[in-house]
Chains A and B, each alone.
Chain A
Amino acid sequence: MAYESPDFYGVDELLTEDELLVRDSVRGWVEERIVPDVAEHFKAGVFPLELAREAGELGLLGASLEGYGCAGMGDVVYGLICQELERGDSGIRSFCSVQGSLVMYPIHAFGSEEQKQKWLPQLAAGTAIGCFGLTEPDFGSDPGGMITTAKPTDDGWVMNGAKMWITNGTLADVAVVWAKTPDGIRGFLVEKGTPGYTTNDIDGKWSLRASVTSELVFDDCHLPKDAILPKSVGLKNALMCLNSARFGIAWGAIGAAQACYDEALTHAKTRIIYGKPIGRFQMIQHKLVEMLTEITKAQLLALRLGRLKESGKLHHTQVSMAKRNNVAMALECARTTRDILGASGITDEYVCGRHMANLESVITYEGTHDIHMLIVGMEITGLNALGNE
């Protein structure tokens, strides 16, 4: 294995044998299958679809779910998968987050037995792809204001509306779509090719270019009765999905930060200025030490978060704190690495520029940096500053 992650506090010793085996296996796969080509995929703006099936064969999709072809491993394992994938690229990690946390998890938690049997094995294998439609063009941080509706008819539902910024949208064989019904917000499974359902890719992205981002449009889209996720009872179910995805993002950001730190450290030791490596200068050492300190704190935060989740004690505000802290930390590491690399840092021969551009999305999606601050703020003061009294 060519890559060893920074582990200043011996965090590896806090992981079980299984967790280390998974981490090393995913790390090896990322090193062989993602790292060599991802800059080209990013440049071309394509998601390397063949990786979906390989990720499925390794068991990386929906890894913490039980049964239906899923590996049934712990939450820390899921976190480590995200960490290793995002060391490669945030876009690839986003694909796995969406598939596992936003598609497979709601089908597993709120779906009927028939829906689970039909979709989970294919989604776990990576032979089918899913997407998650909650955000709308005019409703992002306030999803409860959504205008997409599903009205009951004699033989099913008719859906109207649009969803925006949807990872995997045009690729997806099945979309988990949240819409207003007479009984409140409910989840639906919409299959590719359903009349009235169309998707378009969003072009011109600066960020997550190795991942597909789309809009979903529903124009008198007729759905069968059993398209509804029967156990979904409100917006809180959609937020439970996001909570699971945010948990993975808190881990994934560490991987992006580690990739940048690794690059910065190598450069600092090998780039010669005034006859000595730039790592000999105090300002460079200061930057490297700040990065490593923040990465180490983020590792411990994520691991504790994982153990809380595994023991069933996790509160969603703790996820908000970790997502907010770790993504901002990673973005700062990417920017600092770009700075240490000088002009080289702006080219795609180095990873920091790509991670920096990607992390601008990651700090925004799945609850923005500021929204997570307000969620934690409300928890500690008891006062709601979100505006949805």
Chain B
Amino acid sequence: MKIVVCLKRVPDTTAKIKPAADGRTVDPQGVEFIISPYDEIALEKAVQLKEAGTATQVTVLCLGPANATKELRKAMAIGADDAVLLTEDRDFRDPAATAEVLAAALTELAPDVVFCGWKAIDNDSATVAGMIAARLDFAYASFVVGIEGVEGQNALRVRREVEGTEEQVLVPAPCVLTAQRGLAEPRFASLKGIMKAKRKPLETKAPADAENASDLVALQPPPPRAAGRILGEGAAGVPELVRVLRDDLGVL
């Protein structure tokens, strides 16, 4: 079974995001970039499947800037066998164009399973994996929190998180799965892994042609939060608190 994990390079979760001078992209100055955390969970699971003998090959695929090689080397240090970077020179790709470009690359890679995080934590669109499945005509299961095993001819029994419970679904390969927290706990790359990753193949190439269906117009930070109000201290503040909750906010 061949797995391709789609990874996105995103600003660190704790990075302070500032719009660049163009008013529509992120100013990269002082921002550290990481593999999007849900993608990293998908990668960890794929590597575990390879270690368990279920998968034969794990390839990582990324649409991103030329310096995303660092994130792909990290993925190979964690255990992916090889990597493909579709070098991006545009400053924005909408989800539809992203899915089109990734689907074109996936057609060449011919995987049995495509693994993605359920969303990338920068743009939060959570739509790319579904559109990849539609373009490739692959089966699709989202919010996967467990893989129980392979059944019959290449069908995966997966556990999905649904409101209040979990369901088990039999998904025939080829398929697209999206990873939710709980599927796997990402490991730290070891130094030996980092050394091995230097010798693993990393192919860079241009992405297929695809036009954005929508365009990014502006990136604006949310308005600053108004300062809080101190109604009083200790027990002396309670009457005023009750009055505000009842009369001003109407929640009592």
Residues of A within 8 A of B (CB): 1-4, 7, 17-18, 20-22, 24-26, 28-29, 57-60, 63, 71-73, 77
Contact = CB atoms under 8 A, between A and B. Distances in A.
A125 to B, nearest CB: 11
Interface residues of B, number: 20
B190 A21 contact: no
B14 A4 contact: yes
B191 A77 contact: yes
A263 B32 CA distance: 20
Chain A interface helix/strand/loop/mixed: helix
B69 interface: yes
Contacts of A72: 195
B69 A17 contact: yes
Contacts, number: 57
Interface in B13-68: 13-15, 30, 32, 34
B45 to A, nearest CB: 18
Contact of B12 (A1, A21, A22, A25): A1
Given A17-B73, A20-B70, A59 B14 contact: no
B74 interface: yes
Contacts of B192: 59, 71
A71 B195 contact: yes
Contacts of A24: 74
Interface string B125-151: 000000000000000000000000000
Nearest to A4: B32
B188 A1 contact: no
10 contacts: A1-B12, A1-B13, A3-B14, A4-B15, A18-B195, A22-B194, A25-B191, A63-B191, A71-B192, A73-B191
Contacts of A17: 69-70, 73
A71 B13 CA distance: 30
A73 B34 contact: no
Contacts of B195: 18, 71-73
In the A-B complex, the 7 residue pairs with the smallest Cβ-Cβ separation, listed nearest first, are A59-B191, A71-B191, A25-B189, A25-B188, A59-B190, A17-B70, A58-B190
B246 interface: no
> Which of A26, A58, A72: most chain B CB closer than 10 A?
A58
Given A1-B32, A71-B195, A57 B190 contact: yes
Given A25-B191, A71-B194, 14 more contacts: A1-B14, A1-B32, A4-B14, A17-B69, A17-B73, A18-B194, A21-B194, A22-B194, A25-B77, A26-B188, A29-B188, A57-B190, A58-B190, A73-B191
